[in-house]
Amino acid sequence: MYQDKTLTCRDCQQEFVFSAGEQEFYAEKGFTNEPARCPACRAARKRRNSERRMYTVICSDCGIETEVPFNPSSDRPVYCSSCFQKHRN
């Protein structure tokens, strides 16, 4: 039913093969669009998106130093993960 297709990567402009097996996988998952990036560019994009900048802060509750994945503003308290859970419940 499916046949290998040659596509062009939107980022690096290199051609890559969208295999019949990948097409079948995409169909099973309900994906309607073909991949726009080659496997190497997809992996590089995933790595870039997973790298988070962490900010060192002092917990407003217990006073220990911790890291958070957002730049805190001075008008709101920031908690370590333990204190955050306590305040959440």
**Listed residue (42, 85, 83) closest to 66, CA to CA:** 83
pLDDT recorded at residue 48: 77
The rounded distance, in Å, linking the Cα atoms of 15 and 18 is 10
How far apart are alpha carbons 58 and 67 in whole angstroms? 8
* pLDDT value, residue 41: 94
Mapped onto helix, strand or coil, the DSSP state of residue 3 is: coil
- 66 forms beta bridges with 57
- pLDDT score recorded for residue 63: 94
Contact indicator for 71, 55 with CB cutoff of 8 Å? yes
Global pTM reads 0.55
22-68 pLDDT, tens digit each: 999 999 999 999 999 999 999 998 887 777 788 999 999 999 999 98
Does residue 89 surpass a pLDDT of 90? no
